Structure 1
């Protein structure tokens, strides 16, 4: 199967590092475009100004720092890359971006929880795996 657009959600963890490593490799093999996505927690609108804007600025700055870790990798220079920062519920954001961007594949890192633990704890990876309309590849 050939993929043309791959979504890789990242959070800066070693699990995301592994997903990016494999995702970049697969994208280069397929000639696919990569979308790196970082989702930050929703910002409560009831903070009022200037606190609301400061919270948005802080979340954006932290998100951009996480994305830069991957955008600076040597492998990134060989790929068509797009980065996105979205605030909100993580699973919903990942699935929405995958659908909106018409991604053929989502590649995510896994913390290695069992199916039962993922179901009980409600891991993001487990939720995306069961919600996404495209294939999801889980990297340990």
Structure 2
């Protein structure tokens, strides 16, 4: 199967590092576009000004710092790369972006929880596996 668009959700963890490494290599081989996605928790609107704007600015700054770690990766120069930052529920954001962007594949890092742990604790990877419209490649 040839992939044209790969979504890689990232959170700055070593599991994301592994997913990005694998994703960049696969994108080089298949000439696929890569979308790096960082999802941050929603900012409560009841904070009031100026606290609300400060919280949004802080969240945005942290998100860009996480994405920069991957856009500065040496292999990032060899792939067509775009970045997205979305606030909200992580699983929903990942699956919505994958569908909206017509991604062929989601590559996601995993902490290696068992199926039971994922079910009981609500693993993002477990939920994405069960709700995505496209194939999901889990990297440990």
TM range (shorter): over 0.9
Unpaired segments ≥5 residues, structure 2: none
CA RMSD of aligned residues (A): 0.4
Matched, 1:76 2:76: yes
The structural deviation recorded for 1:7 is: 0.1
**Structure-2 residue corresponding to 1:10:** 10
Deviation at 1:110, TM superposition (A): 0.4
Instruction: Tell me, in whole angstroms, the C-alpha distance in 2 between the residues paired with 1:55 and 1:93.
Output: 20
Deviation at residue 97 of structure 1 after TM alignment? 0.3
Residues 10-65 of structure 1, C-alpha deviation per residue, up to 9 Å, x if partnerless?
Answer: 00000000000000000000000000000001100111111111000000000000
**What residue is the counterpart of 1:86 in the other structure?**
86
CA displacement, residues 62-100 of structure 1 (integer Å, 9 cap, x when unaligned):
000000000001100011000000000000000000011
* DSSP 3-state at the match of 1:53: helix
Deviations 1:80-124 (A, max 9, x none): 000000000000000000011000000000000000110010100
Shift of 1:139: 0.2
User: What runs of 5+ residues in structure 1 fail to find an aligned partner?
Assistant: none
The whole-number CA distance in structure 2 between the counterparts of 1:83 and 1:43 is: 20
Aligned partner of 1:62 in structure 2 is: 62
For 1:49 and 1:128, locate their aligned partners in 2 and report how far apart those are by CA, in whole Å.
Answer: 35
